[in-house]
Amino acid sequence: MLLMISGLSGAGKSTALHALEDLGFFCTDNLPAAMLPTWVEHVRHEHAAVCMDIRSSMEPDSLIEMLATVRKQGEWSMLFMDASSEVLQRRFSTLRRKHPFSSQQAEDASLEAVLVAEREALSPLKDMADLVLDSTALNPYELADLVESFWRERSMNIDDENSLSCSLMSFSYQRGLPSEADMVIDLRFLPNPHYKPLLARQTGQDEAVREFFDGYPEVAEAEEKLRQWLLFVWPKLKRERKRYFTLAIGCSGGRHRSVYMVERLAAWMAQKKFAVPMVRHRELDRVAKKD
């Protein structure tokens, strides 16, 4: 299988490539666009990944055309790395590196203007991608984990043209909406165990919290409505040939209600065998990384 990585400068492409290298991929960074057909012939029967971005060709239209042409010739997956302009500006300021696309802009062009120009130039590649990863709120370890999950899900489904991979994510509204979500569900209307002293430090993965939710009929009703919605929308997503779908479920702190519901839906989806979702608890994962 061949995997193509592209995206904005400073958005984490090198981190993604290193994660794949750790998985045993033959990896090539900053390959000139003109060499891509030869590279493909050389690695066709391997697990290989190549990073192609604005450095590979300062003529974005030529780069996009080359990637689109080669991608039609084999089993490719494409990952596009994105991040907010504010974060990219901060990263370049910290590294004190010149943006690679700045040479194509006016001499007095600001970094902000260069970032806008690159984003616009690469937008067709973003539209082509199987998965867009936004690294704005991710540390390198979290980003590497998501890249590894992308590869493992893709490799399991590579022979199924109608496959649809699902990710379920819990999050806290206090820390902002997850940019990678295709749909967001707000559970702040459900009873909150945070106000129970014995439950506040526990999470939706703990038995005591699960028992708390079992005592409220509206929690079970909300779960059933989400199940019915997933059963309704899943075949329609597949009909649209969508390959990846991320459902983000949020609550105030991202530790109780959202975690509980993600765990419940993930178990149900696996039992129904129409999807084995990748589960990510954004706030719990952050605490685990700090520990």
Domains detected in the chain: 2-156 (3.40.50.300), 165-290 (no CATH)
CA distances from 229 to 44, 185, 237, 270 (A): 41, 12, 12, 16
Provide the pLDDT for residue 155. Answer: 64
- Determine contact, residues 198/189, Cβ cutoff 8 Å: no
Provide the pLDDT for residue 241. Answer: 63
Provide the pLDDT for residue 211. Answer: 96
Q: Is the dihedral of CA 149, 150, 151, 157 positive or negative?
A: positive
What type of residue sits at position 37?
P
Question: Could you tell me the strand order of the sheet in which 183-186 lies?
Answer: 183-186, 244-251, 165-172, 278-281
Provide the pLDDT for residue 112. Answer: 87
Question: Distance (Å, rounded) from C-alpha 69 to C-alpha 74?
Answer: 10
- Determine contact, residues 58/92, Cβ cutoff 8 Å: no
User: What is the chain's pLDDT, residue by residue, as a tens digit (291 residues)?
Assistant: 788 899 999 899 999 999 899 888 999 998 888 888 888 888 877 889 999 888 877 677 877 888 877 777 766 788 899 999 889 988 887 776 778 877 777 777 888 888 898 899 888 888 888 888 888 888 888 888 888 877 776 665 544 545 677 889 999 999 999 888 889 999 999 999 999 999 999 999 999 999 999 999 999 999 999 999 999 998 888 777 667 788 999 999 999 999 999 999 999 998 887 777 888 899 987 655 444
Provide the pLDDT for residue 287. Answer: 59
Q: Which pair of structure tokens corresponds to residue 34?
A: 């003109």
Provide the pLDDT for residue 163. Answer: 65
Burial category of 221 from C-beta neighbours within 10 Å (exposed 0-12, middle 13-18, buried 19 and up): exposed
Provide the pLDDT for residue 158. Answer: 46
| SS3 call for 132 | strand
Q: Which pair of structure tokens corresponds to residue 86?
A: 């504010």
Question: Distance (Å, rounded) from C-alpha 261 to C-alpha 220?
Answer: 10
Q: List residues bridging with 50 in a β-sheet.
A: 4, 28
- Determine contact, residues 125/80, Cβ cutoff 8 Å: yes
Total-model pTM = 0.60
Provide the pLDDT for residue 185. Answer: 97
Provide the pLDDT for residue 156. Answer: 57
